[in-house]
Amino acid sequence: MSLKVKICGVTTPPALHAAIDAGADMVGFVFFPKSPRNVSLRGACDLSAGMGGKAQKVALVVDADDGLIRDIVQEFKPDWVQMHGAEPAERVAEIRQKFGVPILKAIGVAQPSDLSEVEAYLGVADRILLDAKPAKGAELPGGNGLAFDWTLTEGFSKRTGCENWLLSGGLNPENVGEAIRLTHAPGVDVSSGVEDSPGQKSVEKIRAFIAAARRAQDHLA
């Protein structure tokens, strides 16, 4: 299985083009007003119009209601809906069935026991994203530039039977190679780690991140 690379929180054409040209597999668009990476539905549609299927579109939502998800699915037509809030497995299953779109479910990780939450989503979500659990009281559930102890994921696929997952949280061009070598994650996701400031993606950092991830993938092959 080839490594999946996801660039999340894209808001500008240069960032989008950099991600696609550098070979990103997935590009995330954030539909969460509290985030500095938030985009309007019309803005996301316009921004993604030129993607031409070169990368999969991911719509990130946080504890969204049916109305928002319906609008996103009908107008934006994402390949994935990323549920990055406190959505229980029942809610994930409901959305997946109701709207017929694959679900990427984020799980916050800070200690070994957090990984036990994954079991409830197996067979419900189509892919799992392991992200650093935000600090208590944080406004954002992700994109905070925090990393968790990657050694917690040792043997994760074998232990859980989950082979489709992404590693996220605190990744950047300098450490993504080591993260891949250490965890053997089948995919990586980055947002703040390729920014110059919150919400401001760096074209150079996006290219460097994807290149570093691919080099690490080649070394593991």
The residues assigned a catalytic role are 8, 131
Residue-level pLDDT at 154: 80
pLDDT score of 52 more than 90: no
Instruction: Say whether pLDDT at 161 is over 80.
Output: no
pLDDT at 139 over 60: no
Residues 6+ apart with CB under 8 A from 190: 6, 7, 8, 168, 171, 172, 176, 209
- C-alpha Rg value of the chain to the nearest Å: 16
Domain count, the chain: 1
Q: Residue 121: which domain range?
A: 4-220
Flag whether pLDDT at 195 surpasses 70: yes
- Ordered DSSP codes for 150-219: GGGGTTHHHHH----EEE-SS--TTTHHHHHHHH--SEEEESGGGEEETTEE-HHHHHHHHHHHHHHHHH
In this predicted structure, which of 92-101, 150-159, 168-177 has the lowest mean pLDDT?
150-159
Helix (H), strand (E), coil (C) string for 101-143: CCEEEEEEECCHHHHHHHHHHECCECEEEEEECCCCCCCCCCC
Provide the CATH number for the domain around residue 183: 3.20.20.70
Q: What is the pLDDT of residues 102-132, one digit of tens each?
A: 999 999 998 888 888 899 999 899 999 999 8
Task: Characterize the bridge pairing of strands 200-201 and 195-197.
Answer: antiparallel
Confidence of residue 21 (pLDDT cuts 50, 70, 90): very high
Closest CA to 34 of 169, 106, 139: 139
% of the chain exceeding 90 in pLDDT: 73
Instruction: State the chain's mean pLDDT as an integer.
Output: 91
What is the pLDDT at residue 2?
A: 87
